[in-house]
């Protein structure tokens, strides 16, 4: 718990640089590794400035209400609330996404999935717009990023959470791709029924944390992010099994499934697709740190 004296506002307000250093020190003493960066982001939010503008004005005096606003944000971070939930936004694929506690915070490693999907899409010769399905879209980070990079593609996004879909819709509107996106509320593939035409790409970052491991996660994840977006069941594979068993029904010939995975379960997830005997090729892709990060399963020529 934070035991240090909060910033006094009864006396003359400190300068920007002094306030930033004081805030970063408090976060560091609380054991937050990204203390300086977090303090910069929170102070920029409190002042309604970019980080660059704020650093240029390092010696500027501040008003008492600005100090109070920063203190309120700092107190939230000291309770280990993630910065993205405090500010309500997170950058992903060089785009800014709205986030709430209803959605998982987009992570840089998921950009490898987007990269792999874009490469596969570019290799698909087609006389019509590509059709892409994102299962468990959450904030819409994957779906919206693909829509921005594939300007003629039709993107379908599903999520079991109406609140998450509301966030995804707002992000689609913000990035001006909502006219090429369709949202469905329901469980996995079942929500699509039999009337939806087949897809060229099926992408997903499903929950994959083993249930027994969730309570061991850092508090920012364990205590704040939606458990339903983390819990992959006893072995972490609860969501990969139905995808491997059913995805082929929703793929066009030579379509592909692209899934993010835990770094330790590449062979297990690949085996699920190989055992299904409905896929032409299954591959495990690494991220730029050399860890297994994505499984790609290509559909057989005829389903």
* CA 237 to the chain's CA centroid: 19
pLDDT at residue number 55: 73
Encode the chain (303 residues) as per-residue pLDDT tens digits.
Answer: 444 444 444 445 667 888 889 999 999 999 999 999 999 999 999 998 887 787 776 677 788 888 999 999 999 999 999 999 999 999 999 999 999 999 999 999 999 999 999 999 999 877 789 999 999 999 999 999 999 999 999 999 999 999 999 999 999 999 999 999 999 998 878 777 766 778 999 999 999 999 999 999 999 999 999 999 999 999 999 999 999 999 999 999 889 999 999 999 999 999 999 999 899 999 999 999 999 999 999 998 665
Give phi and psi for 133, each to the nearest 5.
Answer: -120, 125
pLDDT at residue number 63: 85
Sketch the domain layout of the chain as residue ranges: 16-79, 104-299
For 164-210, list the strands marked E by DSSP. Answer: 181-185, 199-204
Both structure tokens of 208: 């994959």
The set of residues, in sequence order, having a beta carbon less than 8 Å from that of 144 and lying 6+ positions away, is 95, 97, 155, 168, 171, 172, 175, 177, 181
pLDDT at residue number 52: 77
pLDDT at residue number 12: 55
> Which DSSP helix (H) or strand (E) runs through 182?
strand 181-185
pLDDT at residue number 3: 46
Q: How far apart are CA 88 and CA 82, in angstroms?
A: 10
pLDDT at residue number 303: 57
For the chain, counts of helices (H) and of strands (E): 11, 9
CATH architecture type of domain 104-299: 3-Layer(aba) Sandwich (3.40)
Of 3, 92, 77, which is closest to residue 35 (Cα–Cα)?
Answer: 77
Q: What is the CA radius of gyration of the chain?
A: 22
């Amino acid at each position: 718990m934070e035991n240090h004296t909060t910033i006094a506002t009864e006396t003359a307000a400190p300068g920007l640089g002094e306030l930033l250093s004081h805030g970063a020190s408090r976060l560091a003493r609380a054991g937050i590794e990204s203390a300086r960066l977090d303090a910069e982001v929170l102070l920029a939010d409190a002042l309604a400035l970019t980080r660059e503008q704020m650093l240029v004005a390092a010696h500027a005096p501040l008003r008492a209400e600005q100090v109070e606003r920063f203190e309120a944000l700092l107190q939230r971070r000291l309770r280990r609330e993630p910065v993205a939930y405090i500010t309500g936004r997170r950058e992903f694929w060089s785009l800014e996404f709205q986030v709430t506690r209803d959605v998982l915070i987009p992570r840089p490693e998921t950009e490898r999935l987007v990269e792999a999907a874009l490469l596969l899409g570019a290799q698909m010769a087609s006389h019509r717009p590509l059709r892409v399905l994102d299962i468990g879209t959450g904030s819409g980070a994957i779906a919206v990023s693909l829509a921005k990079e594939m300007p003629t593609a039709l993107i379908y996004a599903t999520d079991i959470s109406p609140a998450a879909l509301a966030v995804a819709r707002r992000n689609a509107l913000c990035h001006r791709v909502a006219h090429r996106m369709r949202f469905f509320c329901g469980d996995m593939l079942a929500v699509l029924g039999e009337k939806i035409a087949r897809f060229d790409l099926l992408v997903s970052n499903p929950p994959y944390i083993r249930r027994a491991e969730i309570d061991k996660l850092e508090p920012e994840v364990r205590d704040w992010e939606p458990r339903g977006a983390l819990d992959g069941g006893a072995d972490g594979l609860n969501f990969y099994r139905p995808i491997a068993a059913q995805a082929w029904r929703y793929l066009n010939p030579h379509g592909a499934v692209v899934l993010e995975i835990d770094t330790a379960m590449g062979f297990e997830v690949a085996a699920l697709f190989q055992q299904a005997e409905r896929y032409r090729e299954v591959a495990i892709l690494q991220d730029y740190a050399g860890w297994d990060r994505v499984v790609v399963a290509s559909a057989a020529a005829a389903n």
